[in-house]
Amino acid sequence: MIVNDDFLAHTLRYPEQSDVLDFAFPSGRARVEGAGILSLEPEVKRSNVSLVLSVGIHGNETGPIELANGIVKSILAGDLVLGVRLLFIIGNPRAAIQAQRFCDVNLNRLFCGSWQSQQGYEAQRAQQLESSVKAFFDAPEAVASQKFHYDLHTAIRGSVHEKFAVHPFVPEEIYQQCQLAFLAACGIEAVLFSHQPTTTFSYHSFALHNAQAFTIELGKVRAFGENDLSSFVRMERALTELLVAGELIQDSLSDLSLYKVVDSLTKDHESYQLNIADNLENFTPFKQGFCLAESLVQRYLVEQTGDAIVFPNSKLPVGQRAGLVVRAKPMSAFNFQ
Ligand SMILES: O=C(O)CCC(=O)N[C@@H](CCC(=O)O)C(=O)O
Ligand SMILES: [Zn+2]
């Protein structure tokens, strides 16, 4: 089996690959650790960054897969010189082939060991991804480097802010200004600050590996070949600069909209429903007292005018997250270092 420069094509061709494959590329050495998992070690010594770049954790979120695969292709072909350590992950190859969000269960709820109480393809996949990330961040080469994980997604709905990021829950509430300035340079318009730990992939890398880690939403879900790659140019430029020069390019924070997550909605009963239109956009605000969700168990009333919903979804099993309620905050409400 030979890996050519197109790792996406390789992954879709061999979605069940379990063999490890080592090969050289013009600026370093590569290892396919399993289906959709490619680690790249640059030739340059003392790389100052170890970056996990994951895409397609949800199989049908193809825009980020095409974007990141294009950059990795340029590195493998020798058109870009890799300057940092990279673990490139195409998260859910089986679901990507089926053009589905997932096969058995939502992969992005199975990290931090949650896969242990689940069965099926995604449970096995979460275990495999956790161990690849651990090996990557625990490697001796990572010791002196900064650890980053950017987990790229696209949203099911349209959004008032087309591109936005989810910041992991940080108990001490002190945030890294240079990461937010990097997100701004990537073309991110809004950041949500989580209010509690989760079992998402990015939270896992933050909590277990002390990485600066974010879920990044780059627009709306579209099929392979239907993405407008020109909408990713700022993200592409910022990632390329990071991969080649090890630099987080910076943009002013002044255009970023900041939100605190105030509640996580949970589907608490089969009768659970969200009282919103199917085409309502993420970040649409509500009036105080609006009954946003209800079931035979309870009702959720909006606490404050302006509170908005992100990721609303009630077509999921009881017990799962049905959306995040967020509240806009001024920059002065946050502490940065
Ligand atoms: O649009 C949606 O409803 C889902 C888009 C998506 O997959 N978002 C991530 C966010 C993860 C996080 O909260 O950090 C997810 O739901 O897994
Ligand atoms: Zn997703």
Question: What per-residue confidence (pLDDT) applies to 4?
Answer: 84
Residue nearest to atom 3 of ligand 1 (CA): 311
Question: What per-residue confidence (pLDDT) applies to 142?
Answer: 95
Determine whether the shortest distance from the Cβ of 186 to ligand 1 is under 6 A. no
For the cut 80, the answer to whether the pLDDT of residue 3 exceeds it is: no
Determine whether the shortest distance from the Cβ of 108 to ligand 1 is under 6 A. yes
- Residue set of the binding site for Zn(2+): 58, 61, 153
Note the ligand closest to the C-alpha atom of 202: 1
Ligand 1 centroid to residue 310 C-alpha, Å = 9
Q: Which residues contact 102 (CB under 8 A, 6 or more apart)?
A: 58, 59, 92, 95, 122
- Residue set of the binding site: 58, 61, 153
Ligand 1 centroid to residue 154 C-alpha, Å = 8
Dig out the tokens for 133 from the structure: 């990330």
Q: Which atom of ligand 1 is nearest to the CA of 324?
A: 13
Using pLDDT thresholds of 50, 70 and 90, give the confidence band for residue 243.
Answer: very high
What is the tens place of the pLDDT at every residue in 122-165?
Answer: 999 999 999 999 999 999 999 989 999 999 999 999 999 999 99
Question: What per-residue confidence (pLDDT) applies to 44?
Answer: 81
Could you tell me the residue ranges of all domains in the chain? 7-255, 265-325
Dig out the tokens for 1 from the structure: 């089996």
Note the ligand closest to the C-alpha atom of 309: 1
Dig out the tokens for 120 from the structure: 């099926």
Residue 321 and residue 177: Cα distance in Å, rounded? 29
Mean pLDDT of the chain: 97
For the cut 80, the answer to whether the pLDDT of residue 45 exceeds it is: no
Using pLDDT thresholds of 50, 70 and 90, give the confidence band for residue 1.
Answer: low
Residue nearest to atom 5 of ligand 1 (CA): 155
Ligand 1 centroid to residue 28 C-alpha, Å = 33
Ligand 1 centroid to residue 141 C-alpha, Å = 31
- Name the percent of the chain lying above pLDDT 90: 97
Q: Which residues contact 78 (CB under 8 A, 6 or more apart)?
A: 25, 26, 27
Q: Which atom of ligand 1 is nearest to the CA of 310?
A: 3
Contact 89, 37 (CB under 8 A): yes
Residue nearest to atom 14 of ligand 1 (CA): 215
CATH of the domain spanning 7-255: 3.40.630.10
Question: What per-residue confidence (pLDDT) applies to 11?
Answer: 97
Domain 7-255 and domain 265-325, same fold? Reply is no
What is the tens place of the pLDDT at every residue in 304-337?
Answer: 999 999 999 999 999 999 999 999 999 999 999 9
Ligand 1 centroid to residue 217 C-alpha, Å = 8
Q: Which atom of ligand 1 is nearest to the CA of 58?
A: 7
Residue nearest to atom 6 of ligand 1 (CA): 155
Global pTM value? 0.97
What is the tens place of the pLDDT at every residue in 166-179?
Answer: 999 999 999 999 99
For the cut 90, the answer to whether the pLDDT of residue 46 exceeds it is: no
Using pLDDT thresholds of 50, 70 and 90, give the confidence band for residue 261.
Answer: very high
DSSP state of 217: E
Note the ligand closest to the C-alpha atom of 316: 1
Evaluate whether the domain defined by 265-325 bears CATH number 1.20.1050.10: no
Residue 115 phi, psi (nearest 5): -60, -20
Residue 27 and residue 82: Cα distance in Å, rounded? 6
What is the tens place of the pLDDT at every residue in 92-107?
Answer: 999 999 999 999 999 9
Question: What per-residue confidence (pLDDT) applies to 47?
Answer: 82
217 catalytically annotated = yes
E strand or H helix at 173: none
Residue nearest to atom 17 of ligand 1 (CA): 108
What is the tens place of the pLDDT at every residue in 195-242?
Answer: 999 999 999 999 999 999 999 999 999 999 999 999 999 999 999 999
How many helices (H) and strands (E) the chain has is answered by: 7, 18
- Name the percent of the chain lying above pLDDT 70: 99
Determine whether the shortest distance from the Cβ of 216 to ligand 1 is under 6 A. no
Exactly one of 66, 122, 162, 217 is catalytic; which is it? 217
Question: What per-residue confidence (pLDDT) applies to 2?
Answer: 67
Determine whether the shortest distance from the Cβ of 320 to ligand 1 is under 6 A. no
